[in-house]
Amino acid sequence: MRAAFDATGFWQATGAGADHGATFDAEDSGPPRYRAVFISDLHLGTPGCQAEPLLDFLKAHPSQTLYLVGDIVDGWQLRRRWFWPQAHNDVVQKLLRRARKGCKVVFVPGNHDEFARGFAGHHFGGIEVREEAVHTTADGRRLWVVHGDHFDAVIQCAKWLAYLGDNAYELTLRLNRHLNSLRARMGLPYWSLSAYLKHKVKKALNYVTAFEQAVAAEARKRGYQGVVCGHIHRAEMREIDGTLYCNDGDWVESLTALVEHHDGRLELVQWHGAHQHRQRVPAAAESATV
Ligand SMILES: [Mn+2]
């Protein structure tokens, strides 16, 4: 499709409309529908990444600014096993295309794409890489934009534990097998390690609350009215002690994003799109507006 900037700076299609089979995105006409869009935890490079619904979401949500709030490409998983289907390529192409078309795209790396942190301050194909960012809403609120892994005590204190976490299930099953063959030889009954660990996971629920409070407290300490983060794959938007805590969720399970309307109104969006039948609605991601 041929296109050119018009006087207002927005792309306009040129020539006849009958472009042979070209797809005409919502983003190709008129001003962007949203002032800002925040997405994180795409985990491109893993089979879990929901690249196709994400492409549909991006098409339907053109914005003036797009924040990529970390764990966009999963370098940890790619290092273990190369997985890069066409749909993941399409996502990268779409992000680059958006930047080329005049959308301000800011990439704040997370722990799974920490390799990019070394490039903070640089531009790649129009995408700005920043350690952290500050977004000012149309109604003047200053939001701290950060992935959030620095608040993850496990990752901060013992990085190897986090690596272990990624393979924990596989490891658990293997350990369980060895443990129980040993127990059988000793004449002891079967004991489930995974059931025991599941019990332990219940305690992890407190971790989510602790994370949310820690991030909001740090944002407040730094003088921001709110914070936008990701990392824990749990979309949320609520006030915590007078500070707005926004978590834009993920594109592995919840398919959620945070959007800012032109009046500064923030909204948590869960993408149903064409893939609705495959998705459940997690309680934490119910649509909310602040
Ligand atoms: Mn993360």
Considering just the CA atoms, what is the radius of gyration of the chain in Å? 21
Does the pLDDT at position 76 exceed 80?
yes
How remote is the CA of residue 187 from the centroid of ligand 1, in Å? 43
Percentages helix, strand, coil for the chain (3-state, rounded to 5) are 40, 20, 40
Arithmetic mean of pLDDT, 200-217? 75
Does the pLDDT at position 11 exceed 70?
no
Q: What is the pLDDT of residue 172?
A: 73
**For ion ligand 1, residues whose CB falls within 5 Å:** 71, 110-111, 149, 231
How remote is the CA of residue 39 from the centroid of ligand 1, in Å? 12
How remote is the CA of residue 146 from the centroid of ligand 1, in Å? 10
Pairwise CA distance, residues 145 & 161, whole Å: 26
How remote is the CA of residue 193 from the centroid of ligand 1, in Å? 26
Q: What is the pLDDT of residue 200?
A: 63
- Burial class, 78, CB count within 10 angstroms (exposed 0-12 / middle 13-18 / buried 19+): middle
Q: How far is CA 148 from CA 46, 108, 109, 145, in A?
A: 21, 10, 10, 9
Tell me, what DSSP letter sits at residue 190? P
Name the average pLDDT for the chain. 81
> Comparing 27-36, 38-47, 120-129, which segment has the lowest mean pLDDT?
27-36
Does the pLDDT at position 287 exceed 90?
no
Arithmetic mean of pLDDT, 100-112? 96
How remote is the CA of residue 84 from the centroid of ligand 1, in Å? 19
What pLDDT band is residue 285 in, cutting at 50, 70 and 90? very low
How remote is the CA of residue 180 from the centroid of ligand 1, in Å? 34
What value, to the nearest 5°, has the Cα angle with vertex 236 and ends 231 and 240?
100
Arithmetic mean of pLDDT, 20-46? 76
- Residue-wise pLDDT for 179-202, tens only, equals 888 888 888 888 777 667 666 655
How remote is the CA of residue 116 from the centroid of ligand 1, in Å? 13
How remote is the CA of residue 213 from the centroid of ligand 1, in Å? 17
What pLDDT band is residue 23 in, cutting at 50, 70 and 90? very low
How remote is the CA of residue 283 from the centroid of ligand 1, in Å? 21
Q: What is the pLDDT of residue 15?
A: 33
How remote is the CA of residue 149 from the centroid of ligand 1, in Å? 6
- The structural domains of the chain, with segments of one domain joined by +, span 31-149+224-285
Arithmetic mean of pLDDT, 125-134? 96
Does the pLDDT at position 289 exceed 80?
no
Q: What is the pLDDT of residue 12?
A: 33
CATH number of 31-149+224-285: 3.60.21.10
How remote is the CA of residue 147 from the centroid of ligand 1, in Å? 7
Most confidently predicted of 153-167, 189-203, 204-218, 266-280 = 204-218
Arithmetic mean of pLDDT, 260-272? 97
What pLDDT band is residue 159 in, cutting at 50, 70 and 90? very low
Share of the chain above pLDDT 70, in %: 73
Q: What is the pLDDT of residue 138?
A: 98
How remote is the CA of residue 34 from the centroid of ligand 1, in Å? 25
What pLDDT band is residue 290 in, cutting at 50, 70 and 90? low
